[in-house]
Amino acid sequence: MEEHYFTADPATPFKRVPVRTNVWGHWLELTSGSGVFAQGRLDIGTGVLLREAAPPVEAREVLDLGCGYGVIGLAIAVAVPEARVTAVDVNERALLLAGENAAQLGVADRFRAALPDQVDPEATYDEIWSNPPIRVGKQALHELLLQWLPRLRPGGRAVMVVGKNLGSDSLATWLGEHGYPTEKQASAKGFRVLESRRA
C-alpha cells in the first residue's frame, strides 16, 4: 500500500534532509525528512503563502495546522518573538522534525509540535495558518477545518494556501457558507492565498 505524508507513522526508512530558506528576512536552517511532506525543499504552495502574506505581528497565539516539518509555524515564531505557536500534524515523524527544528532555531520555548489529540481542547488562537492537506479528500478536509476553525478567537483569522486546480475557489465558497467569510488575498504559481474570518 502506498504511503502518504499524512500517514501517522511512515514505514519509509528515516533519512534527514536539510532545507535552507529565507522567510520575511530571516534565514531558516531546517531539517526535513523521508516520509514527510516536501522532503528536502520548501514546497511551492508554502513558498507562495510566506511570500504573499506578511507575518502576523499582532498575533500572540498561532496554530500551524498540518505543520509538516514546521516551516510555517517556525517562520512565525522567528519573525514574531511575542507569538506562541502550536503546530499540529498526524505524522509523528513530522512532529519530531518540527520539534528538532524549533530547538535548532532557538524558539522551542514558544513552539510546540503535537498530535491533534494532545492539544488542549479549550485552547483558542488569534490566527490559524495552514497549507492544508487537500489530498486527504474533500470530506476529511472539511471535517479538519470544522474541527479547528471554531478555535479562532473573536476577530481572528485563518490564512491558507490552496492550489487553484485543487479547489481553492470552491473551498472559499464552502468556508463562507459555514460561517467563515473568505477572501482571496493573492494568486501565484497556481495557488491562491485565502483569508477566512469568523462571521
**CATH code where residue 190 lies:** 3.40.50.150
Q: What is the dihedral of CA 146, 191, 99, 85, to 10 degrees?
A: -60
Q: Give me the tens of pLDDT residue by residue for the chain, a chain 199 residues long.
A: 334 444 545 566 788 999 999 999 999 999 998 778 776 778 999 999 999 999 999 999 999 999 999 999 999 999 999 999 999 999 999 999 999 999 999 999 999 999 999 999 999 999 999 999 887 888 999 999 999 999 999 999 999 999 988 889 999 999 999 999 999 999 999 999 999 998 8
Three-state DSSP class for 197? strand
Three-state DSSP class for 132? coil
Are the C-beta atoms of residues 24 and 33 closer than 8 Å to each other?
no
Domain of 141? 16-197
Euclidean distance between CA atoms 40 and 34, whole angstroms: 8
Query: Would 6 be classed as within a structural domain?
Result: no
Are the C-beta atoms of residues 49 and 129 closer than 8 Å to each other?
yes
| pLDDT value of position 6 | 47
pTM for the model stands at 0.92
Query: Would 95 be classed as within a structural domain?
Result: yes
Query: Would 2 be classed as within a structural domain?
Result: no
Query: Would 8 be classed as within a structural domain?
Result: no
What is the domain count for the chain?
1
Query: Would 10 be classed as within a structural domain?
Result: no
| pLDDT value of position 140 | 92
Cell for 28?
531558516
Euclidean distance between CA atoms 32 and 132, whole angstroms: 18
